Structure formats: C-alpha cells, structure tokens
C-alpha cells in the first residue's frame, strides 16, 4: 500500500470512528458546531442549513466501505429532510439534498429520489429576483456568495427534466454573482445588496467577513467549488459550457493560492488587520481542497491540472 493510500485509509477510519462515537453518544443528533470543545445542543444558528452534511458522511462511508450499517444510518438521517424540498425560506437546498438524496439516487437510480431532487431545484429557483439572482435567506435584496454552492441543484433539475427555464435562472444567477461579487483579483465579497424596485446593484456587504471590502476565505472557497461545479453540470447536461465560469473558478483559485500561507490552511479572512482576530479556518481550506481537485479535472491544460491537484493534496496532508 502506498503512503498516500495508507493516509487515505487512516483518514477514512478516523472519520468512521468519530461517527460511530457520535451516533452512540447522541443518537438522532445532527452536529453543527462546538462550544468549549463540546457539541452545542442549544439549536441551530441563523438557519437549518447543515443537516445534509452529517448523513452525507454516512453515504460516503457506505460508498467507500460497502458496509450496510452506514447505508442504514444514511437513510434514517436523510429521510427527515424530504419535506424540506419545498422549503422556500432558505437558499441552502443544494447543501441539504446534494449531500444526501443525490448520493442516494446515484446508488439506486430510484425515480422517487430524482423527483425529490427536482422539487428541491424548482423550489430554489423560486428565489429569483428582478436583479437576476437567487435571494439569500436574509431577504429578497440580498445575494450571498454561498448560493454558488446551491445553484447547482437547479442545473441538475434542468438536466433531469430538460427545463430550459430552470437552466436560464441558474445561469443568470451565476453571471450576476460573477459580475458583482467576484473582484478583478479573484477575491470575493460575501454579499451583494440590490434595489428591489429596479433590480440595480447597490453595494457589496458582509455578514461573515471582516468588512464589505475584504475576502472572507470560506466565501472564496464557495466560489472556487461553485463555479467549477456549474461548469461540470453544464457539460453533463449536454451543453457546451462557456469559458466564463471555469475562468472565474480559476481566477478565484489563483487568488487563494497566491494569498494563502505555505500549508494552504487560510486565516478566516485574508484582509483581517494585525489587531483583528487571528483565526485559522480549516473548513475554508477543506472546501478549497475539494474545489481545487474538481478544478484539476475540468481544466484542459495538463500543467494547470497538475498544479491544482498538487495544491489540493498539499492542503489535505496538513494536520
């Protein structure tokens, strides 16, 4: 077994052991964040946007181990999400259903699972606003970079149904996000604010980053992953994907690689001043690693592909 494969197996075993312990200690609980090093049980913050990730891990563990017990857990933790395919209050339906029902559908091919994913895509598309974007949960005036991680479910639904209207809604959102939230240097704003009457863009803002003008690194990770995914989904739907989305993903990736420290685990915001909170964001690094790996499979140039793949592995080998 090669050192890389040994490390992969070790990581998979560690994740499995952590999940077994959590299921035994807190059965039925979906973890989101810790307080004082312990899972916090007081409830969700902001919105219920993380419930797909935990059962998504169970689906991945089943895929990579073949053990029936992981599938049983994956199904039991995924089923409570089914009614949320009609949840009109959030922009997070991609997070919820790509992690769970898409993996379930890929395993079985059941039409009822496809129908649930299509419903979720159509529900998210209803968040379209006059300014040509999908509104964040904050309100109809607000566009989040986070939505790039969710817009793919609309494209998936368009591919599954042949509904060109859905595809256009998704592409319009991506182009608006590219125009107003991605900066020339590849950095990203967290939020864009729009005039509801005219649809005009007003300003950049943030709920997560240091400032409206800074680059919150998890938002940048969302952009790398999200624009790459849009390019892939367009190709899988039989469309010739325009260069603009892959070019945007590469611009964002190059910004990250240019500004991140040697191990590629970033600070929570690239522009936080020296007297601001100096915190590392391993989640931003992990999302970026996944996005860089996907990006390496989409670019046509072998040298560039190797560069992105190497960067992804560099991040993943950090402890």
**Which sequence positions are flagged as catalytic?**
92, 146
Q: How far apart, in whole angstroms, are the C-alpha atoms of residue 86 and residue 101?
A: 14
Of 217, 234, 122, whose CA–CA distance to 175 is shortest? 234
Residue partners of 186: CB distance under 8 A and separation at least 6: 220, 251, 252, 253, 254, 255, 256, 258
Cα three-residue angle 298-183-239, rounded to 5 degrees: 35
Residue partners of 247: CB distance under 8 A and separation at least 6: none
Q: How far apart, in whole angstroms, are the C-alpha atoms of residue 312 and residue 67?
A: 28
Q: What is the CA radius of gyration of the chain?
A: 19
Q: How far apart, in whole angstroms, are the C-alpha atoms of residue 250 and residue 241?
A: 15
């Amino acid at each position: 077994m090669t050192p890389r494969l040994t490390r992969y197996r070790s990581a998979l075993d560690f994740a499995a052991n952590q999940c077994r312990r959590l299921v035994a200690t807190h059965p039925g609980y979906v973890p989101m964040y810790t307080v004082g090093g312990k899972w916090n049980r007081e409830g969700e913050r902001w919105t219920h946007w993380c419930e797909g990730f935990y059962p998504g891990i169970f689906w991945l563990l089943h895929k990579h181990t073949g053990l029936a017990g992981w599938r049983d857990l994956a199904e039991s933790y995924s089923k409570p999400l089914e009614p949320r395919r009609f949840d009109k209050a959030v922009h997070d339906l991609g997070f919820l259903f790509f992690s769970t029902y898409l993996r379930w559908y890929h395993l079985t091919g059941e039409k009822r699972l496809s129908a649930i994913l299509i419903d979720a895509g159509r529900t998210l598309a209803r968040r379209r606003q006059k300014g040509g974007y999908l509104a964040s949960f904050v309100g109809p005036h607000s566009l989040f970079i986070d939505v790039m991680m969710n817009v793919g479910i609309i494209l998936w639904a368009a591919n599954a149904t042949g509904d060109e209207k859905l595809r256009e809604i998704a592409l319009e959102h991506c182009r608006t996000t590219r125009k107003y939230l991605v900066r020339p240097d590849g950095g990203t704003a967290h939020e864009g604010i729009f005039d509801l009457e005219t649809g005009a863009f007003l300003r950049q803002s943030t709920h997560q980053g240091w400032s409206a003008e800074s680059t919150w690194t998890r938002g940048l990770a969302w952009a790398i992953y999200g624009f790459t995914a849009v390019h892939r989904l367009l190709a899988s739907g039989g469309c010739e994907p325009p260069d603009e989305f892959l070019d945007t993903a590469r611009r964002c990736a190059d910004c990250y690689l240019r500004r991140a420290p040697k191990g590629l685990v970033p600070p929570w915001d690239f522009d936080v001043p020296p007297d601001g909170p100096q915190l590392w964001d391993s989640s931003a690094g992990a999302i970026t690693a996944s996005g860089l790996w996907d990006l390496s499979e989409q670019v046509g140039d072998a040298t560039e592909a190797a560069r992105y793949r190497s960067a992804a592995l560099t991040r993943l080998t950090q402890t």
